[in-house]
Amino acid sequence: LEPLIVYDADNEYTALVKEILYGSK
C-alpha cells in the first residue's frame, strides 16, 4: 500500500507520517 501523503513539500511531516504508518524501523 502506497502512503496517501505524497507531498514532498514538508519532508519532516512526510517523514513523521511515514514513521507513524510504517512504525519505527
Q: What pLDDT does residue 9 have?
A: 57
Q: What pLDDT does residue 4 have?
A: 62
Kindly list the domain boundaries of the chain, sorted by start residue.
Answer: 1-25
Whether 5 contacts 17, CB under 8 Å: yes
CA 15 to chain centre: 4
Q: What pLDDT does residue 1 have?
A: 60
pLDDT digits 0-9 by tens, 1-25 = 666 656 555 677 778 888 888 876 5
CA gap 25, 22 in Å, rounded: 8
